[in-house]
Structures are given as C-alpha cells and as structure tokens.
C-alpha cells in the first residue's frame, strides 16, 4: 500500500479510535453499527474484489453467525466471548464450506443465482421452522463477556471490541491479499484459465476464499447479535445480501478501504433517506431513494467512491494525468 492510502487508513482508524470521546450515545451506537457493516463488507470484498466471485448470498453467513450467538448463549447467564465468538464464526464457516463446495464449481451468472438460492434456504429455515423462532426472532438475554471485566452489553466496551475486530480483519485481509494465497486469488479473478494452465487447482482456492469470507461474515453477525440483542429472519434476507454488495461497489471494488468507505456511505445514505426531517412523508419510502442512488452510482461512479479522486483528475487533466507506465508487482489491491 503506498503512502497516501496508508495515511488514509491510519487517519480513518485514528478517527474511529477517538470518536467515543466526542460522540454521545447515539453517535457511538451509530458508528458501532457502521463498523459491523464494515466487517461484513470486508468479508464480501475478499470474495468479489479479491477472487472475482460475485456472491449474492452473503447474508446467510452473517445470519448464521448472528443466530448462533443467540442459540448458543445460555438463557440465564452471560457467555464468555472467548468460546462463543469462535464457535459462531466456526458455524458460519461450516455453512460457507457446505454452500461453497456446491456453488464454487459454477461460475458467472449461475454462481450468483446459486448463492442467492442457498441464502434463501437458510432464510426459510429460520423463518418457517421452530429453530429460528419464526418471524419474531429470538432475544439474546445476556450479552457475552470478555473475561470478567469487558461487558459487551455496554456501548463503550462493545464499540472498542468492534473496532478491534474491524482493525484485525482489515489488517489480516491486507496481509492475506498480498500473500501467495492472495495473489493466487487475484490470478483466478483476472484469468482463471491461465492459472489452471500454470498448475493451480483453482477449486480449492475458491472454496478457501468462500469459507474464510463466510467466517468473517459470521463474525459480523456475532457482533450484530451482541449489539442488537435480537435476531430475526431479516438478517438472512436477500435484501441484506444486496445491501452489502452495494456497499463494496459504492466504496470501490478491489480496495479494502473501499469496504470501509462503502459501509459508511451506505449507512449515512440510509440515515439520510429515512430522515423525516428532510423527506417528510417520503421517508417511509426511503428505498426509492436508495434504489435510485444505486443505479446512479453504478452508472456514474464505475470505480466507486475510492475512484472519485482519480476520476476528477482525469476530467481536469485529461487521461495523461493518470496513466502511469508502471504498475507495482501487485495489482494494487490495497
């Protein structure tokens, strides 16, 4: 990652770290939610931006992580994060492994449809069967504890814990994407045929990416369940799968910080369109604004918000302002 981007990321995390000092409860709550979205978005970025697998069913793994949190927690006492978190992440990873094993053999549009269908399957399991508690969902009675001193039921500890998770996932993915594994995934994204011709068995790589991605989504689901204290089938809704896909496109595909930016932008857009102060009676129909924004951003911002500086430069300076004759060894996934 080169200097300006590193600076941006450092700045972003710095602001996040200092935010609780200036924000009230509403602000802390909002940014916790956004950070959870960001972890969710990062999971999908690994799949879509990193490996080129457009998954339209990411909400399933998010939902599995969330439901596992509630179902595994004892009804009367607080569970320990030390075992609860890994257990939920593991369950999400297992579902991802199962779905991936069947889906990853397909490609393109077919893959999009298959992943969507498998997510819908999970949705129906929690919606229709007693396992999921039906449309009302299930409550988490006692939020988990980290050790005996960090109570995730309180907003500030939860904020810090979420920030730590976000930083960990971001850093981990940054390392992973520049490693041999990450480069292989990039190669699969750019030219899978050449990868196979060179000697890479691409199926295990794609399955690995799918499983890791599902695990990270499960982590986001865990955090969400802890924060909200309530899980319901809407967490596995395909609209959520669509939302997280929009986040990474809006932010900018192929960049980890795009997932961060996209999550923030999406959350802020949601708040904006839902705001009765601005839209009055139309606030109820905020999806209309969202839909139009999605269409506009895909049409006008092909590289997402991350690409806006470059797009502006191109507009002002002409193409020669940006076409560099060299590329770093990595394809610039940062």
Partner 1 sequence: MATNNVLLRGRGITRRWGGLVAVDRVSIELERGSVHAVIGTNGAGKSTLVNILSGELAASAGQVELLGKDVTAWPQPRRARAGLGRSYQRSTIYPSFSVFENCRLAAQARTQKPWHWWQDAQRCSISTAAAQVATHRAGLADLLDRPAGLLSHGEKRQLEIAMCLATEPQVLLLDEPLAGMGAEETERMLALLADLRSGHAILLVEHDMDAVFRIADRITVMVNGAVIASDTPEAVRANPEVQAAYLGGHDGEP
Partner 2 sequence: MTLATFLIQCLNALQYGLLLFLVASGLTLIFGIMGVINLAHGSFYMIGAYMAYALAPFVGATFGGGFFATLAVGLLLAVLFGYLLEWAFFSFLYEREHLQQVLMTYGLILVFEELRSLTVGDDVHGVAPPPLLAGTLPLGELMTYPVYRLFISGVCLALALGMYFVFTRTRLGMMIRAGSTNREMVQSLGIDIKFLYRVVFAAGVAIAVLAGMVAAPVSSVYPGMGSTVLIICFVVVVIGGIGSIRGALLASLLIGIVDTFGKVFLPQAAGVLVYVLMALILLWKPDGLFKAG
Site for partner 2 in 47-76 (CB under 8 A): 48, 54, 56
Q: How far apart are CA 316 and CA 330, in angstroms?
A: 28
Contact 90, 255 (CB under 8 A): no
Q: How far apart are CA 286 and CA 205, in angstroms?
A: 40
Q: How far apart are CA 324 and CA 309, in angstroms?
A: 15
Residue 139's beta-bridge partner residues? 230
Contact 90, 98 (CB under 8 A): no
- Spell out where the chain has E strands: 138-139, 145-146, 150-151, 230-231
User: Of 81-89, 118-126, 206-214, 216-224, which part binds partner 2 (CB under 8 A)?
Assistant: 118-126
Least separation in angstroms between CB 306 and partner 1: 16
Site for partner 2 in 172-191 (CB under 8 A): none
Measure the N-to-C terminal CA separation of the chain; round to a whole number of Å. 6
Nearest to partner 2 of 113, 142 (CB atom): 113
Least separation in angstroms between CB 323 and partner 1: 9
Nearest to partner 1 of 183, 274 (CB atom): 183
* 146 near partner 2, judged by CB under 8 A: no
Q: Which does 205 bind (CB under 5 to 8 A by kind): partner 1, partner 2, none?
A: partner 1
Site residues, partner 1 (CB under 8 A): 175-176, 178-184, 186-187, 190-191, 193-202, 205, 208, 325-331
Q: Which does 283 bind (CB under 5 to 8 A by kind): partner 2, partner 1, none?
A: none
Site for partner 2 in 221-260 (CB under 8 A): 238, 242, 245-246, 249
Nearest to partner 1 of 80, 198 (CB atom): 198
The string of DSSP letters for 51-73 reads H----S-THHHHHHHHHHHHHHS
Give the pair of three-digit tokens for residue 290. 């969202």
Q: How far apart are CA 85 and CA 91, in angstroms?
A: 10
Q: Which does 181 bind (CB under 5 to 8 A by kind): partner 1, partner 2, none?
A: partner 1
* 85 near partner 2, judged by CB under 8 A: no
Least separation in angstroms between CB 214 and partner 1: 16
Q: Which does 121 bind (CB under 5 to 8 A by kind): partner 2, partner 1, none?
A: partner 2
- Single out the residue of 58, 69, 120, 270 in contact with partner 2 (rule: CB under 8 A): 120
Place of tokens 């940006």: 322
Q: How far apart are CA 312 and CA 213, in angstroms?
A: 33
Q: How far apart are CA 41 and CA 39, in angstroms?
A: 5
Q: How far apart are CA 94 and CA 211, in angstroms?
A: 7
Contacts to partner 2 by CB under 8 A: 48, 54, 56, 102-103, 105-106, 108-110, 112-114, 116-118, 120-121, 124-125, 127-130, 238, 242, 245-246, 249, 285, 287-288, 290-295, 298-299, 302
């Amino acid at each position: 990652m080169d200097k300006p981007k590193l600076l941006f990321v450092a700045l972003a995390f710095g602001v996040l770290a200092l935010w609780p000092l200036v924000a009230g409860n509403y602000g802390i709550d909002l940014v916790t939610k956004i950070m959870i979205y960001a972890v969710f978005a990062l999971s999908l970025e690994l799949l879509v931006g990193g490996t080129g697998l457009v998954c339209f069913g990411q909400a399933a793994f998010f939902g599995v992580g969330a439901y596992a949190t509630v179902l595994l927690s004892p009804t009367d006492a607080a569970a320990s994060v030390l075992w609860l978190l890994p257990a939920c992440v593991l369950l999400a990873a297992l579902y991802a492994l199962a779905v991936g094993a069947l889906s990853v053999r397909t490609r393109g549009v077919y893959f999009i449809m298959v992943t969507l269908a498998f997510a819908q399957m999970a949705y129906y399991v929690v919606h229709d069967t007693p396992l999921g508690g039906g449309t009302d969902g299930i409550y988490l009675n006692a939020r988990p504890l980290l050790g005996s001193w960090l109570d995730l039921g309180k907003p500030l500890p939860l904020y810090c814990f979420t920030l730590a998770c976000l930083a960990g996932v971001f850093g981990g993915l940054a390392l992973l994407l520049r490693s041999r594994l990450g480069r292989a995934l990039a190669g699969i994204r750019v030219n899978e045929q050449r990868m196979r011709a060179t000697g890479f068995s691409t199926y295990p790589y794609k399955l690995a990416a799918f499983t890791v991605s599902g695990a990270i989504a499960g982590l986001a689901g865990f955090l969400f369940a802890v924060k909200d204290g309530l899980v319901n089938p809407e967490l596995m809704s395909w609209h959520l799968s669509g939302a997280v896909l929009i986040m990474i496109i809006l932010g900018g595909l192929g960049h980890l910080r795009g997932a961060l930016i996209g999550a923030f932008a999406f959350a802020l857009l949601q708040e904006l369109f839902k705001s009765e102060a601005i839209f009055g009676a139309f606030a109820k129909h905020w999806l209309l604004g969202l839909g139009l924004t999605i269409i506009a951003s895909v049409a006008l911002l092909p590289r997402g918000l991350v690409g806006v500086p470059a797009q502006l430069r191109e507009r002002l300076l002409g193409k020669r302002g940006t076409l560099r004759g060299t590329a770093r060894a990595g394809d610039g996934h940062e």
